[in-house]
Structure 1
Amino acid sequence: MKKTEMISLSLSLSLGLLASYTPEAMADDKQVKQQSMLQPIVDHVDVIAHRGASGYVPEHTLAAYEKAIQMKADYVELDLHMTKDGELIAIHDSTLARTTNVEELYPDRAPWSVKDFTLAEIKQLDAGSWFNKTYPEYAKKQYAEEKIPTLQEVIDFIKKKDKNAALYIETKAPDVYPGMEEKLVEFLKKNGYLKKDKVIFQSFSEASLRKLQEIIPEDIPLIQLYTPKMIQGLNLDDVFNRAAEYAEGVGPDKSLVTPAFMQEAHERHMIVHPYTVNTMDEMVEQLSLGVDGMFTNYPDRLVELNKKPYISHGAASGEVTDTSAVLWARTSQSANVQFEVSEDSSFKKAITKTEKAISKHDLTVQVKITGLKPNTIYYYRIQALPGSHQVYGSFKTAPAENELKPLTIVWGGDTGGQGKIPPFKAFSAMADLRPDFFLFSGDTIYADNATPAVPNPPSKTIEDFWAKYKENRTDPYLRKLLQSTSIYAIWDDHEVINDFSGPFEPLTSTGFQAFTDFWPMLKERSSSGKLYHKFSWGDTLDLFILNNRSYRDPNTKLDGQDKTMLGQEQLEWLKKELLNSDAKVKLVASSVPISIPTGKPNARDGWANGDNINPDDKTGYEHEFAKISTFIRENKIKNVNFVTADVHFADIIQYDPDHNGTVDYRELVSGPIGAGMGQPPTLDPTFGPERLYAEGGFFNFGVLKVDPGRKQMTVEIHDENGKVHFQRDFPIE
């Protein structure tokens, strides 16, 4: 692999780890070293004006290059073709038809290939009128006078306008224009551009880049361009190993950029310049993935994002009640963040709040919005000031107390484990159902598993934990879901480390801070450290969120009357709230299952001890769950459903603990959304389970619909594409 001084790398001593500093890590003048591969390996994210500022001006004209220079682009991108008489000219297409009036002037010379015309003939063409017709909002009369420029004209013009402006030149396959590389190199050398910081070469042609490698100085970067088709079905490791033989970086179609793609590039110290990234939302998405530069038709937009704060990882609403909601966002640097909430999407009448994003919380910021109307759809927009980038979303408030309204929720968990990383298609399928809210049932990250965010796990520092959450927020499908409905998030073990017991795990407080930093959360939940809470959706549903981690005894402790997972205070709270609930459906969000044995032998992590698997296993937490089960049964509390994820397969179970033929409660299990896939084992028989459905080996999520009018609850399991694998109606007693 060639080395270049242009690419300033700050490498840690560990192979493949990056310790460069990004603007977000430098917020409030505090530099924080992170091992994440999802951050630039350069000091400055390059703005590459694609065909010039071609969003505003006819592409590949002197006017387009001038506009790019005025907008402070770092590079002016050129596509080169050769005329019939061997002149290098700047034009993207191999034909003249799209961007000139060639068909009008030379009607009998189809297909109007550049190589079939002399420079003199090409200079007769109008290279700007097409733009005025296609983009009337940017049309100017003088564009009709624009001509296709030669490379010499481009260089002379750029030298005059800004001698520091650099070129980003694309070459074609050698068999298209034989001798182009040699001619181009000699031309740049003569004009003083064959040096670092003055030119970068790019090509879709490996042959062209290998040819250039032999004839240019070693410190001039070569960039291998990729279309999706070029690497479809190929192993990324093989693709990058090959490219690293001759290139310093890659220029992928923007759709190819994922955490896995970034890791393959950055662990080889190769820069990533995706194309063509035009909207601010697209730019922010690419920046969140840690790209090192972008091709764009609108260089001014990326220039602004490099200078001013912006919302970096989407937005979210959560902890919704009938009159309030919590809004969440994260910024790229320390900034005042403006939140606006309105009943109409035009924001003519809006509630406005401003909060400061600071590095102490990794630039995440949350505000509680009060005074809302029950059962109402609200729109919000969020902006990091003084930046212009805005993020939009919506949520629905809960019905008023005593109201009965139909309800649809989605639930699931397990994202980012066992080598599975974003994007996760299931989130998009969830959003398409337009649910009233999303219950994220734990393992919202895998802090102890290797991913591009933390390639050498487990996470140990707060920066590691933050990086994990940011990695999942690079997923456009997750952002789509979070910005289309509200969320209630619960934590499980992988938010800290596998099967942890909170009071005995040193990383508990670190994982807790990151969890509460990255999910919209009421201060009553986060500041107290309790996390357990009840939310009501009118009289339709009460949601009881448990904290199964912070109070538990060690998993290895033998089970007995004194062993606890919930702690005495939380256990009494749950019983009291269940007894007082008059909601049609009671939904208990537990991060661990009831009768599915989890954890390890003699260190069971869920309620079940799994003695059907190992009769000598005396761990688990069955004595404590028996107290809950008996309380539900003796007090005749109806329509209780425990909902969870954790086990990486779908399972629907109903329970008859006293074996009298009556169902006393149910357990609804879904997952994984994006983690290793499991298979349903034999159930522990202690609480009289009856399995109604079980299926593993696929990504899935759950859907719960409550129809009070029909006195019916419907449970569904969907795969990541939205296909229904299970559906059953249950009566509301």
Structure 2
Amino acid sequence: MKKSLIAGLACLSLAVTSGAPYAVLAHPIETSATDNGQTTLRPLTSDVAVIAHRGASAYSPEHTLTAYKQAMTMKADYVEFDLQMTKDGQLIALHDETLARTTNAKELYPDRAPWRVKDFTLEEIRRLDAGSWFNKAYPDKAKTEYIGQHVPTLEEAIEFVKKHGNGKVGLYMETKAPSVYPGMEEKVIEILKKTNVLDDEKLFLESFSEESLRKLKTLAPNVKLIQLYSGGMLAGKDVYQEFKRISDYASGVGPSKELVVPKLMEAAHQNQFLVHPWTVNSQDDMVSLLSLGVDGEFTNNPDLLDDLLDKPFISHGVASGDITDSSAILWARTNGKANVKFELSTDSSFKDNTIVKTGRANVEDDYTVNVEVTGLKADTRYFYRAHAVSSKYSVNGSFKTAPQENSLKPMTMVWGGDTGGQGEIPPFKSFKAMAALNPDFFLFSGDTIYADNKTPAVPNPPSKTVQDFWAKYKENRTDAGLRSLLQKTGTYSIWDDHEVTNDFSGPSQELTPTGLRAFKDYWPISEERSQADKLYHKYSWGNTMDMIILNNRGYRSPNTQADGPDKTMLGDEQLKWLEQMLLESDAKVKLIATSVPISVPTGKANSRDGWANANQINPNDQTGYEYEFKKISDFIIEKGIKNVFFVTTDVHFAEIIKYDANKDGKTDYNELISGPIGAVKGNPGTLDPTFGPERLYAEGNFFNYGVFKVDPARKQATVEIQDENGKTHFSHSFQLED
């Protein structure tokens, strides 16, 4: 049971010492060959716990014996009890401090509002019906057996689980509102001793009250305690400091599911804290949290979580990419070895004209799958879904094929890059804002990961093994906004330096093959681009736009080499190809996707990483790649190629530049720069003057992305820079030349 989860999310390489309170392996499993050996985004234990929240409360009236029994039938690992105390000092299992919501107290005791538990004796509470309310609230799940269910005492609930769980089902109980019930903690420990479960391995006590937990720790030093957190409790706090502070009494944390992000996981797992988020009821949310490496989940639907953990499933979303007018690449990742079935149709219900493709998820590719679908209709919205064949759980996506050749259709794309660097890690707000625009496609312009930066996925950088690189991609895929964008539209991904290491040159960097392998595993890349690792390619949006994707890393000379005829960024073959693509294009817009800028100096002195040599900063700096870019610039001018836009990220601020390279007073080409999505925020500086740049806009110190629209009917291209909240900071329209 639950072996497949750990195969993909990689458990157990974090050493769990024999003295740890959760060291017993309920379901021994194999460690994964995809484990990078240091990630904190994986469970501490060998088995992710299914914690039945108030019992199987989606199917039966909460905190009744029927709910507990159904939870055990659904293979829950733990049954959770919320504890309240009666007027006569007895502990009962009930969530609310009042009896009004889940019993018939109003009818039976009409004059005793607000029906607080502490105002009723156990004998009075025993008379209540704790099940009929469920039949009224959920008529589709109503059962006659629920009528007359009673509120159980803690002792009764424990004995019931012990009897029906055959000693395999654990107990998880919360001191609810302990400040209302003096002596609650002593009573809990008394009953745990009486029922002989205080020393059980599968026993947890939980509370939002630190005072209550500390008191329990004093009363029973070996008990495992979980500090619960709501959003307000962590607001403004440093989770690393907070979890270190509570480490003298807690064995783990129970955050609200919205709080679970990589930083929280790292802070918890570095303190050897289990992470048990609440309350997780949809399988999408369950999978999202599993991808972050949680150790268990509270759920009203234990059957859904158990079903996921029993078999391989789609673990990090789906994506489509390298879209043409007749083809697309579909991508998915499972968490274990599996056959993956893709279904594709123009019908969102998949009832008509469904195309089926199957791929194999294997360990050597970190369980990623890429399949090509051909024979598609141009200018058509396609829907697709993917699932591991052994699992019922599926993930849906969609994309739009490019218009047919020679057609002129309007187009909207979003672009951005610089994601996951310098301590800025998921969640990223920009992806959600991009997805809300419903773009025709997304250009991910490089630095799709920061392999050489410290993050919870690789706490000890730089990434060196392919497992390290894989872990980085998985970490960014934990971002719900990124998954949403990738599932909503097609993506064209290009790499820059941080997919390998800062400012690298492909031929001379020993990590290049490893970084490239991981890049190709985690993006939907066509065979044409991946063949011979060339990565450069042209994609057309009808006759509206030709997008020419460059590979600025794979062929370049070392940055430290002096510029001149023998220095190259693109290599002779790619440079000639670029010129040919520009010459042959009759599209309204020629968009050149380059991972480095033209006139913004990057890199270091005497080791410039972009095209510019920055000699306006240091006249003695002989590096950069201006000699080669001059060939490109001269070619564009001499051949009269119109409406050329270079689009990039890389520099961590936004800038829109027009160029008059031959100083004749006319614009020869434009450069569009956005970013960062999630990395250190910079500010614009002085431009290198070599190719005649003129700033139209420059702004830094904010997260942002770019929007590029082409309206052929109006002969207009519009660029916008939007911040992470979707607010437009700059908009400019270019009149397209004939």
Deviation string, structure 1 residues 195-245 (Cα, Å, up to 9, x no partner): 132421000000111011111142x31000000011111121221122212
Please state how far the C-alpha of 1:9 moved relative to its aligned partner. Answer: 8.0
Q: Distance in 2 between matches of 1:447 and 1:332?
A: 21
Give the CA deviation at 1:187.
Answer: 1.1
For residue 121 of structure 1, report the CA deviation from its aligned partner.
1.2
Q: Provide the C-alpha distance between the structure 2 equivalents of 1:86 and 1:348, rounded to a whole number of angstroms.
A: 60
Q: For residue 81 of structure 1, what is the amino acid of its counterpart?
A: Q
Map 1:445-460; keep pairs closer than 5 Å: 445-460=449-464
1:59-458 matched pairs, under 5 angstroms:
59-164=62-167, 165-218=169-222, 220-349=223-352, 350-458=354-462
Aligned to 2:7: none
Greater mean deviation of Cα atoms: 98-107 or 712-721: 98-107
Q: 1:618, CA displacement in angstroms?
A: 0.5
Q: Is the 8 A contact 2:337 2:363 kept in 1?
A: yes
Out of 690, 708, 713, the residue aligned to residue 712 of structure 2 is 708
Alpha-carbon distance in 2 for matches of 1:304, 1:325: 31
Q: Residue type matched to 1:486 in 2?
A: G
Aligned-residue RMSD, C-alpha: 1.8
Residues 673/198 of structure 1: CA separation in 2 closer, same or farther (3 Å cut)? closer
How far does the alpha carbon of each residue in 1:59-111 deviate from its partner, in whole angstroms, 9 at most, with x for none?
A: 00000000011111110000011111111111000000111111111111111
Amino acid in the other structure paired with 2:285: E
Contact 1:717 1:726 in 2 (8 A): yes
SS at match of 1:480: helix
CA distance in 2, matches of 1:462, 1:480: 26
Q: Which moved more, 1:623-632 or 1:174-183?
A: 174-183
What SS is found at the alignment partner of 2:498? coil
CA deviation after TM superposition for structure 1 residue 527, in Å = 2.9
| 1:462-481 residue CA offsets vs partner (Å, 9 max, x unmatched) | 00000000000000010010
CA deviation vs aligned residue, 1:418-462 (integer Å, no higher than 9, x gap): 110001000011011100000000000000000000011000000
Matched residues, percent identical? 63
For structure 2, the 5+ residue unaligned runs are 1-10, 18-22
- Is the 1:20–1:41 Cα contact (8 Å) retained in structure 2? no
The one-letter code sitting in structure 2 at the alignment partner of 1:153 is E
Distance 1:12 1:120, change over 3 A: closer
- 1:138: how far off? 1.2
Alpha carbons of structure 1 residues 588 and 628: separation in structure 2 relative to 1, 3 Å: same
Deviation at 1:186, TM superposition (A): 1.3
Over 3 Å counting, the alpha-carbon distance change for 1:22 and 1:730 in structure 2 is farther
Q: Which residue in the other structure is 1:568 paired with?
A: 572
1:426 counterpart SS class: helix
8 Å Cα contact 1:25/1:31 also seen in 2: no
**Contact 1:172–1:208 (CA<8 Å) still a contact in 2?**
no
Q: Which amino acid aligns with 2:250?
A: A
Q: Secondary structure at the match of 2:147?
A: helix
Change (3 A) 1:527 1:300: same
- Listed one character per residue, the Cα deviations across residues 8-51 of structure 1 (whole Å, up to 9, x for unaligned) are 884399xxxxx999999958x74745211101111100010000
Structure 2 Cα separation of the partners of residues 491 and 272 of structure 1:
34
Give yes or no for contact 2:34–2:363 (8 Å, CA) kept in 1.
Answer: no
| 1:692 counterpart = 2:696 | yes
Which of 664, 685, 700 in structure 2 is aligned with 1:681?
685
Distance in 2 (CA, whole Å) between partners of 1:726 and 1:462 is 40
- Given that residues 23 and 333 in structure 1 are in contact (C-alpha distance below 8 angstroms), is that contact kept between their aligned partners in structure 2? no
- Alignment of 1:535 with 2:551, yes or no, is no
Amino acid at match of 1:140: K
| Partners of 2:312 and 2:334 within 8 A in 1 | yes
Partner of 2:728: 724
Q: Which residue of 2 aligns with 1:509?
A: 513
Q: Secondary structure at the match of 1:323?
A: coil
How many residues in Structure 1 have an aligned counterpart in Structure 2? 720
CA contact (8 A) 1:78 1:168 kept: yes
Distance, in Å, in 2 between the alignment partners of 1:174 and 1:698 is: 44
> What is the Cα deviation at residue 174 of structure 1?
3.9
In structure 1, the residue matched to 2:587 is 583
Instruction: Tell me, in whole angstroms, the C-alpha distance in 1 between the residues paired with 2:24 and 2:219.
Output: 31
Residue 229 of structure 1 aligns with an amino acid whose one-letter code is: G
Shift of 1:338: 0.5
What is the CA-CA distance between 1:267 and the residue it aligns to? 0.7
2:630 paired with 1:614: no
Q: What is the Cα deviation at residue 690 of structure 1?
A: 0.6
Tell me which residue corresponds to 2:4: none
Q: Which amino acid aligns with 2:524?
A: P
Give the alignment partner of residue 626 of structure 1, picking from 623, 630, 642: 630
Return the alpha-carbon distance in structure 2 between the equivalents of residues 155 and 598 of structure 1.
65
1:12–1:195 distance in 2 versus 1, CA, 3 Å:
closer
Tell me the amino acid that sits aligned with residue 287 of structure 1: L
Q: 1:494 to 1:308 in 2, by over 3 A?
A: same
Structure 1 runs of 4+ off > 3 angstroms? Answer: 7-10, 19-27, 29-33
The code of the aligned residue for 1:299 comes to P
- Alpha-carbon shift at residue 172 of structure 1 (Å): 3.1
Distance, in Å, in 2 between the alignment partners of 1:412 and 1:145 is 59
The whole-number CA distance in structure 2 between the counterparts of 1:201 and 1:623 is 68
C-alpha contact (below 8 Å) 2:28/2:46 kept by paired residues: no
1:708 Cα deviation from its structure 2 partner: 0.2
Q: Secondary structure at the match of 2:399?
A: strand
Q: 1:8 to 1:508 in 2, by over 3 A?
A: closer
Equivalent-residue separation in structure 1 for 2:375 and 2:137 (angstroms): 47
Task: Indicate the SS of the match to 1:574.
Answer: helix
Q: Tell me the distance in 2 between the aligned counterparts of 1:310 and 1:234.
A: 35
Q: TM-score, normalised by structure 2?
A: 0.96
Give the AA of the match of 2:92.
I
Is the CA contact 1:317–1:520 (under 8 Å) kept in the aligned structure 2?
yes
Aligned to 1:16: none
CA contact (8 A) 2:125 2:151 kept: yes
Secondary structure (helix, strand or coil) at the match of 2:212 reads helix
Partner of 2:42: 39
Question: Equivalents in 2 of 1:21, 1:675: separation in Å?
Answer: 39
Flag the 1:9–1:91 CA change in 2: closer, same or farther, 3 A.
Answer: farther
Q: Which letter does structure 2 place at the counterpart of 1:351?
A: I
**Per-residue deviation at 1:578?**
0.4
Deviates more, 1:685-694 or 1:31-40: 31-40
Query: What is the rounded CA distance, in whole Å, between the counterparts of 1:442 and 1:123 in structure 2?
Result: 64
Work out whether residues 250 and 271 of structure 1, in 8 Å CA contact, stay in contact via their aligned partners in 2: yes
Pairing 1:638–2:642 present: yes
